[in-house]
Structure 1
Amino acid sequence: MSRPPLSVQPLSPRDARRRRLVLAALGLPALAGLAGCGGGHDDRPADPLLRFVNGTRDVTLASFYVDDLFATSLNLGGIGSIYGELSRATHTVSVRQGGNELERVQLAFFGDSATTILAYGSTAPGGDVRFWVVAEDSARPAPGQVRLRAFHAAVHRPQPLAVHVGAAGAPLGTPTFTLDAYETRSGFVEVPAGTYRVRVTPAGAPDDLLLDYPAALLPADTVWHLAVVPRAAGSDRVNIAAIRERGDGQTWTA
């Protein structure tokens, strides 16, 4: 079952509607006995949460599987799923294009955890599709602040990229993040909560706008992972899959 982008269908914490969606979307036998548990009625850990993002260059429709059972399919460009619940155990997670498996990993999922798996890369000759696994357990920012980090997943623009998070009318100035190469990830920075203009350029080429997103709302006391991903197979520009820990995600494009 295909799911809408994170920006359209944000996480709704531990409600009955999400449980029904999860049971339909993940279809895991282990989930069948979980529909009535959790939710804070006892001292047991909450079931793990898992969601997916398609940040590939050319996997037009990426199909994700958990323990070889279909979970969801997602269009490229940084489109993501809603969260699903699964059992507290080690699970095999994979992504396929048609009948061709592109990546497979085994991950342990613990109670009270949330994880986002971003598929990135390319199926072109010499390319590779990989997973970036985001464990959503970062330290909280200072009151009124937002924690951000960035990841270079734009396989078609492997040169250094600059990510600017600033006021709408401000000149670019010093980049918030400089990602030195493909698959580079930054450390965290903190900024005051607010609405920001987010721009991506090649490092040292501020006039070459690869992304200009005018209205990124970053609420206080949140943590975000900004994955710079390809827009589409025929475009030189980029999108950002903006992954908010334990919350909604968004695809920033312009």
Structure 2
Amino acid sequence: MKSAFSRFALVGLVAVLAACDSDSNAPAATASIRVVHGSPDAPAVDVFVDGQPVLTNVAYQAASPYLEVKAGTRNVQVRAAGGGATVIDADLVKQDGDVHTVIATNVLASIEPLVLTDDNSAPAAGNFKLRLVHGAPNVGLVDIYITAPGAAIDALTPDLTNIPFKGVSSYIEAPAGQYRVRITPAGTKTVAIDTGTLDLVAGQIRTGIAVESTGGGAPLSALLLADKN
């Protein structure tokens, strides 16, 4: 599982970052948003919040850090990089303290936002939390196995079954240690994604997203987003 990393510039953040009112000492209500480019055949994109550019030239499979914005109704637009057409135009209602991940997903002709509500509250002592997302638009239902690194899945029952495209698991909380995630077409043992050994540390919160290759289709892979720690 490869880690999603920034491959873009952050611009114009002053215009949208939450700040204190000039006539009040009380801090403004704020929320957080993270953006992931998950549309396999879409070009690089620019992201705007309330009409202001906040991310530029976001490549496929890239993820932004969390951006702090004012609470309230925020308009998020995704446009083809360099002044191209708007492909996503969505309003998000953000309450104070809300944390969301917005994935630009599906193929370009049907691109759409998948909005996840992130729970970055700490897991129990000694545990981690992991959430999994089916983000591969050309792939049908899948099963997911979460095992020890050396375990064979032939005789195992999947931990998650029949997950559709855009399906999102609940947070899985488990003791820190080494794990391996494998994803198969539903009802089969044919592995489409194998993360290899994952070292999941106490206190970590991670989101894993199944994605296709650039342009769409196989080989599939997984992005691992660091939600916390």
- Shared fold per TM-score greater than 0.5: yes
- 1:221 and 2:203 correspond: yes
The answer to whether residue 184 in structure 2 is matched with residue 201 in structure 1 is yes
Matched residues in 2 for 1:152 and 1:130: separation? 14
Question: Which of 42, 48, 65 is the aligned partner of 2:48?
Answer: 65
| Distance of 1:89 and 1:75 partners within structure 2 | 28
Conservation of the 8 A alpha-carbon contact between 2:182 and 2:194: yes
For 2:144 and 2:118, locate their aligned partners in 1 and report how far apart those are by CA, in whole Å. 22
**Compared with structure 1, are the counterparts of its residues 244 and 134 closer, same or farther at alpha carbon in structure 2 (3 Å cutoff)?**
farther
Deviations 1:179-226 (A, max 9, x none): 43222233333222122222222122323x322222323222343332
Shift of residue 7 of structure 1?
4.6
Provide the TM-score with structure 2 as the length reference: 0.80
- Match in the other structure for 1:12: none
| 60 and 239 in structure 1: CA distance in 2 versus 1, 3 angstrom threshold | farther
Q: Which residue of 2 aligns with 1:230?
A: 212
Tell me which residue corresponds to 1:29.
15
CA distance in 1, matches of 2:161, 2:12: 37
Partner of 1:131 in structure 2? 113
Equivalent residue runs for 1:70-81 within 5 Å: 70-72=53-55, 73-76=57-60, 78-81=61-64
Q: Distance in 2 between matches of 1:139 and 1:30?
A: 25
Name the CA shift for 1:30/1:146 in 2 (closer, same or farther; >3 Å): closer
Q: Provide the alpha-carbon RMSD of the alignment.
A: 2.9
> What is the TM-score of this pair, normalised by structure 1?
0.73
Residue identity in the other structure for 2:146: V
Greater share of residues in helix: 1
Q: Which residue of 2 aligns with 1:121?
A: 106
Residue deviations 1:23-77 (CA, integer Å, cap 9, x gap): x52435244x83xx6xxxx97467322221111121131322111222213211x
> What amino acid does structure 1 have at the position aligned with 2:92?
L
How many positions carry a matched residue from both structures? 218
Q: Gaps (5+ residues) in structure 2?
A: none
1:25 alignment partner AA:
V
